[in-house]
A and B are shown apart, each in its own frame.
Chain A
Amino acid sequence: MIEAKDIDFYYGSFHALKHINMRIAAQSVTALIGPSGCGKSTFLRLFNRMNDLIPEARLTGKCLVGGEDIYGAHVQVDDLRRRIGMVFQRPNPFPKSIFENVAYGLRVNGMGDRRFIADRVEESLRAAALWEEVKDKLKKSALALSGGQQQRLCIARALAVQPTVLLMDEPASALDPISTMKIEDLIFHLRSTYTIVIVTHNMQQASRVSDHTGFFMLGELVEYSETRKMFTNPEKTETQNYITGRFG
């Protein structure tokens, strides 16, 4: 479903991703782990082309999503970003109402009329397990929500435009344990509909939510296998050391 072929990525002269090959299965959860600064976020941002916004960044290799070369000449980047949603480490709702936050993606993509938007907003908030908590205050500012609610709102916002892929960059690292659990539950429910790639520093989280895990170090994909295998019987000693917390 998602495929990275011979990826090399540079920030100016800094070689951030080194010759990465990776196939990510559709409708599954793939976790990316590794020490800080190893390039997980950089790798994730390749797939919705958010790296394009960074000046001096350079990429070689191919990124395929659903067979399509997303860096091909004909690709509409804004449309690609609609199809491939992203959730960031820090919840970043817009300073608008809860409703408008979720409706935003629909509006900018010119999707549907009032009725459709209202329906989609409710649907998305339900899918993000937030509807019950906010249904009476949709007109209230999103900034008045708790951090965990804000993050679920950001997930709802991403789901509203009906992406096929959801990229999550440490979506729970700024949250308390209960909110984290809610996000994990959510990922568990979303896995059947979306292809999810999640970056996390939390080994338990990776082992709880993901089907496959990739371990990055210094810009290289050191090991990539089924999560169960990775956490019980890793092939490389670096992986073993990292997941048992001996460094990183």
Chain B
Amino acid sequence: MRTKLQQQIAFFIFRSLGLLVIGLLFWILGFIVYHGAGVISWEFLTTAPRDGMTAGGIWPALVGTCYLVIGSMVVAFPLGVMSAVYTSEYARNGRIVRLIRIMTNNLSGIPSIVFGLFGMSLFVRTLGFGDSILAGSLTLGLLVLPLVIRTTEEALQAVPATYRTGSRALGASRWQTVSRVVLPVAFPNIITGLILAVGRVSGETAPILFTVAAYFLPQLPTSIFDQAMALPYHLYVIATSGTDLEATRPIAYGTALVLIGVVLCINLLANLLRRRIGKHAHKS
């Protein structure tokens, strides 16, 4: 009787906490939608800011963020997947694997502003890329590399060992086993990791501060050596350094809403991709 009561109380507490978290999430979302939805319009999405950023839209920042997301994934995805494949499928020396793990864990613990500084020093100055999409993508790519590596490793380790032994026993080489059996099975989970990475990248401000982000740049970038605006930094700018902060507040919320929208869209897209490829891998 008593244990039953205890259990009920415990469940009650857990359920309440769970609901609290969900409530909080909806509150934040609702808050931003409530304040930001008013400014969202086709014009807001597709024009550049005007009048000292108190009017107009966010088009250049939206495009800049998309470029940075794509650029950083081009950097982090192949590198991260390859290094995860190496550590979990190839490396036989446990010491080296452990060392790599420790390094990637440490890397993921470094504050993002430090990545910004590092990116500025290496990519902007030393390699001479200047403030550019290239430098920003490389910096963001490095920032999410540990995340991509870790999620890919987990995805690979979730593939049953019996698939590997089955494949090796048929005379497949290690690489054939990885490329034909292990990676296709792990792919959906690898994509999940990619989604997390995209979410992280699209919201980061510190790493792009000194490497790519332009305060105000109405025209779109034309090459990877151009500067670009980006949503999170734009949000920061209009929320803190305008002439009339109260007047631009709705624009700030609108920008935040678009930022969230972008992340959600990318998640959705990646999920669709994941489904399709998951199904496909199953069939063929």
Contact = CB atoms under 8 A, between A and B. Distances in A.
Interface of A: 48, 50, 53, 55, 78-83, 85-86, 88, 90, 92-97, 100, 104-105, 107-109, 139, 141, 143, 154, 157-158, 161
Contacts of B165: 50, 53, 88, 92
Nearest to B164: A53
A81 B181 contact: no
Interface string B149-186: 00000000000101101111111110010001100110
A80 B180 CA distance: 20
Contacts of A78: 171-173
A105 B167 CA distance: 8
B277 interface: no
Nearest to B159: A95
A39 B184 CA distance: 34
Interface residues of B, number: 22
Contacts of A85: 169-170
B171 A79 contact: yes
Contact of A94 (B92, B167, B171, B283): B167
B171 A82 contact: yes
A72 B171 CA distance: 17
A69 B173 CA distance: 21
B3 interface: no
Interface string B192-231: 0000000000000000000000000000000000000000
21 contacts: A53-B165, A55-B92, A78-B172, A78-B173, A82-B170, A88-B165, A92-B162, A94-B167, A94-B181, A95-B184, A95-B185, A95-B282, A96-B282, A96-B284, A104-B170, A108-B167, A108-B172, A139-B283, A143-B282, A158-B169, A158-B170
B170 A92 contact: no
B266 interface: no
A108 B181 CA distance: 11
Given A95-B282, A100-B284, A141-B282, A109 B171 contact: yes
Nearest to A50: B169
Lowest 8 CB-CB distances: which A-B pairs, in order?
A: A82-B171, A105-B170, A92-B162, A108-B172, A81-B171, A86-B169, A92-B166, A108-B176
B8 to A, nearest CB: 40
Contacts, number: 78
Contacts of B283: 96-97, 139, 141
Given A100-B284, A108-B180, A141-B282, A94 B163 contact: yes
A95 B180 CA distance: 11
B281 interface: yes
Grouping DSSP codes into helix (H, G, I), strand (E, B) and loop, the B interface class, with mixed when no group exceeds half, is helix
Given A55-B92, A94-B181, A104 B284 contact: no
Interface in B40-96: 92
Nearest to A48: B169
Nearest to A154: B166
Contact of B284 (A97, A154, A161): A97
Given A55-B92, A100-B284, A81 B169 contact: yes
B282 A161 contact: no
Given A92-B165, A105-B170, A108-B172, 10 more contacts: A48-B169, A78-B172, A92-B163, A100-B284, A104-B172, A109-B171, A109-B172, A139-B283, A154-B166, A157-B170
A78 B167 CA distance: 10
Contacts of B166: 88, 92-94, 154, 157
A78 B166 CA distance: 13
A104 B146 CA distance: 34
A86 B171 CA distance: 10
Contacts of A157: 166, 170
A49 B173 CA distance: 13
B163 A161 contact: no
Nearest to A139: B283
B168 A161 contact: no
Interface in B125-168: 160, 162-163, 165-168
Interface string B262-284: 00000000000000000001111
Nearest to A142: B282
Nearest to B93: A55
A109 B105 CA distance: 39
Nearest to B279: A141
A161 B170 contact: yes
